[in-house]
Amino acid sequence: HDCAHCSSDACATEMLNLAEANSIETAWHRYEKQQPQCGFGSAGLCCRICLKGPCRIDPFGEGPKYGVCGADRDTIVARHLVRMIAAGTAAHSEHGRHIALAMQHISQGELHDYSIRDEAKLYAIAKTLGVATEGRGLLAIVGDLAAITLGDFQNQDYDKPCAWLAASLTPRRVKRLGDLGLLPHNIDASVAQTMSRTHVGCDADPTNLILGGLRVAMADLDGSMLATELSDALFGTPQPVVSAANLGVMKRGAVNIAVNGHNPMLSDIICDVAADLRDEAIAAGAAEGINIIGICCTGHEVMMRHGVPLATNYLSQELPILTGALEAMVVDVQCIMPSLPRIAECFHTQIITTDKHNKISGATHVPFDEHKAVETAKTIIRMAIAAFGRRDPNRVAIPAFKQKSIVGFSAEAVVAALAKVNADDPLKPLVDNVVNGNIQGIVLFVGCNTTKVQQDSAYVDLAKSLAKRNVLVLATGCAAGAFAKAGLMTSEATTQYAGEGLKGVLSAIGTAAGLGGPLPLVMHMGSCVDNSRAVALATALANKLGVDLSDLPLVASAPECMSEKALAIGSWAVTIGLPTHVGSVPPVIGSQIVTKLVTETAKDLVGGYFIVDTDPKSAGDKLYAAIQERRAGLGL
Ligand code: BF8
């Protein structure tokens, strides 16, 4: 077993060797034990929707062609796919609901541990959503915004689109998707209707099913958008900040606490409270106090807003425990490996679950209540301080490697940086450079890690190859984690890897914005819900040019996607008009009809389409070709 095959991340490889030596099982070992994975499932041809099954369709057309109910391969593949999109939508939107309810409770004067930290953002949102602000108190405005947002979970008028989408996309996109019936009216209803129509004996038309999938995917964008925007009002809109990434951010002399998951409601408070408990940590023997580190999307939330370093991304989330220096990992929702407590058992690490709907056997549950956020955060930090006393110093093995990362490029931060070049018309420098070809186009990297791809390698290969061809690179989620760990969120990376045109632009903006060097090669836009930041920037660009999102030389890529949320994101990216690459094959290839629908027919309908390619090199060529096709369409 050669651990270097598993990950291109040097720290992960070092820790995997340690895992081997100590017979500790990680995701990569479990993946090996799963081989060979089921071919029916991989193709999407195993149906488990009713108790007459599981039914399997022979991919080669020699065995059964229909499930017991009569469903054919196309119905089975389509039903399965749209259920996955609905699950992703539910996950993002549940996160959004949590933030929206917090806003409602704040407006009612109930939550004392939170405040509106970014009033300018609150007013900007009010303007977008058409909420009056003149002469009104802050809490009244917060209340109205919460009500409109919760309306996106409650509206029963099928023809009235979700408020956030209607207010945020280009007018042409709203019209086009409205005409196609692809603008959801209600997030919860969209998820419920997807579950309902995919029940045995309901929708059996693959085209109709896929259209339903695109509609629920747009509800995912709505939920992500409202989660991001309201989080900014609550916790602050990210601005560029210098941080660091990879396991070398852990400190031997500190109480190390990892925050893992997605929702900033607790993790943001933990960051604030940590400073107050520093003396308690020192008294317990940790001379360097408390060191908060991030994993997965929570990592990005606190990295963007507090400069908290990122320990690692999804696939290597077990590995910080193996350093022997992790006192606690605090988790909430999504993408948290159930294996964590099993590995923690070999060490002194406390795995602490906090969400009432999400518990893990073997973990300690500390229920999080927004009404007592500071108290909960203190309880958790004190558990970590107590665990520090049980650390075995002889087992501490922190890799000596970390990368500097300049992060925090919200749409507002990008516009502010551009405004340093042209204060009157901030988007003009960007538009000019796209027109003159210094910037050929923009790629947004999204998504996860998967054991099917050497960790992070597809991201790094693709980004380097596109940046060399003068494509501006944006990233969120575990894609952003990969780039941060690989040192691509630095000025040095721009100097080293960007094509001449792109380098010139990033240098001019970075210098004007006072960064003392070029903007980083990869612009960190945040967590997965923060993909809506890229949509906001693209929408501003499209509106300035008077075109639709599907006209822009803008593409998306998820070369290591894994989760249902990633499928939801990919599907709305297609629906808003983007050529969208996935490098881990979704379970659709069992149906030629569904495959054709999402990779070809979608282009005529909505402008976007999926590009499925597991090879980063040819995927890069296809994405670049898609950018050139868009440029030609704009007459560039
Ligand atoms: O929402 S990129 S593995 S952590 S799903 Fe999960 Fe994928 Fe990471 Fe965040 Ni997004």
Cβ atoms 52, 68 nearer than 8 A: yes
Q: Whose CA is nearest to atom 10 of ligand 1?
A: 528
**Region of residue 187 (left: phi > 0; alpha: psi -120 to 50; beta: else):** alpha
Q: Whose CA is nearest to atom 4 of ligand 1?
A: 296
Beta carbon of 296 within 6 Å of any ligand 1 atom = yes
Please choose, from the candidates 318, 320, 328, 325, the residue with its C-alpha nearest in 3D space to the C-alpha of residue 352.
Answer: 328
Helices (H), 517-578: 531-545, 564-575
- Distance, CA of 564 to CA of 586 (rounded, Å): 10
Please choose, from the candidates 337, 306, 89, the residue with its C-alpha nearest in 3D space to the C-alpha of residue 190.
Answer: 89
Q: Name every residue whose Cβ is closer than 8 Å to that of residue 173 and which is 6 or more positions away in sequence.
A: 548, 549, 550, 576, 577
User: Ligand 1: which atom is nearest the Cα of residue 449?
Assistant: 3
With 0-12 / 13-18 / 19 or more C-beta atoms within 10 angstroms meaning exposed / middle / buried, residue 390 is exposed
Residues in the chain where the model's pLDDT stays below 70: 1
Q: Which two tokens stand for residue 274?
A: 């940590």
CA angle 406, 412, 416 (to 5 degrees): 80
CA angle 177, 199, 335 (to 5 degrees): 70
Q: Tell me, what's the pLDDT at 4?
A: 79
Ligand 1 pocket mutation, candidates 220, 228, 485, 565, criterion most atoms within 8 A of CB? 565
Beta carbon of 95 within 6 Å of any ligand 1 atom = no
Q: Tell me, what's the pLDDT at 3?
A: 76
Beta carbon of 563 within 6 Å of any ligand 1 atom = yes
Q: Tell me, what's the pLDDT at 1?
A: 63
- Distance, CA of 346 to CA of 24 (rounded, Å): 9
Cβ atoms 575, 545 nearer than 8 A: no
